[in-house]
Amino acid sequence: MKKLILALTGLVMTMVANAQTSSNIPPVKKIEVTASAELEITPDELYFNISLREYFKTKTNKVDISTLEQQLQKAVQAAGIPKENFTIENAYGYNGVQWWKKKKPTTEEFLARKQYRLKLADLKKINGILAGVDEEGIESVNIASFNHSKMEEFRKQVKINAIKAAKTKAEYLAAAADEKLDGVLEIQEIPTDSYADARPMVAFSNARMAAGDAVPQSDIDVKTIKIRGEMRVVYKIK
């Protein structure tokens, strides 16, 4: 019984000693900062939607969709665009009232439409491509979206830049308190809208196309893409 009491007493004393030792450990001095970085890049992948439609030049002369498609395909090839960058997006039809039958709306003609997806690296190439197609057959053209072929590399870079900015910030804040950094305790990425895709910027419709000039000429470049990264970093202080 005495041995048991002595053992319990020893255990209690050990626990008290450990508690005292733990309480004597000084708290870790640290500094927590957040920082962000941004990059603006010019897209090198532009995705156009081009819609073509059949139409009647005269009462008996219909320009069919296959003719318009051949014109567009030839213009794309002449521009040096890879075959895989030109695809059919959709095909559908509509009832078009012929101009000489407007007084009799019941006598409509079924006309075909096709929509194509074209990937370009240079915005200015669209002018030459559309100039090779019968302008009356072009229903609409617009930029559906754009991207950059090295987007993932840019996303990594903004995060690296944000961490570097966080270190600079922590260093001058610690120096203001006569302290120095002593390594990283924690790194956390803060979710952000890192990629802003400003969609359709350029759009042309058949109604806007002037005779002899299918697409307005312009030296204006496509809008840049803004990539943003934000990081939270905790540093230990010496």
Parent domain of 140: 40-151+194-230
Q: Which amino acid is at 80?
A: G
Dig out the tokens for 75 from the structure.
């213009």
- Are residues 169 and 33 in contact, defined by beta-carbon separation less than 8 angstroms? yes
C-alpha to C-alpha distance for 106 and 133, rounded to whole angstroms? 31
pLDDT recorded at residue 176: 95
Q: Is residue 5 part of a domain?
A: no
- The confidence band for 37, taking pLDDT boundaries of 50, 70 and 90, is very high
pLDDT recorded at residue 195: 57
Which of the residue ranges 97-101, 125-129, 181-185 would you say has the lowest mean pLDDT? 97-101
Q: Is residue 103 part of a domain?
A: yes
Q: Is residue 60 part of a domain?
A: yes
pLDDT recorded at residue 202: 46
Q: Is 74 helix (H, G, I), strand (E, B) or coil?
A: helix
Q: What's the gap between Cα 114 and its chain centre?
A: 26
pLDDT recorded at residue 147: 92
Would you say residue 27 has pLDDT above 50?
Answer: yes
Split into its structural domains, the chain has a count of 1
Q: Is residue 9 part of a domain?
A: no
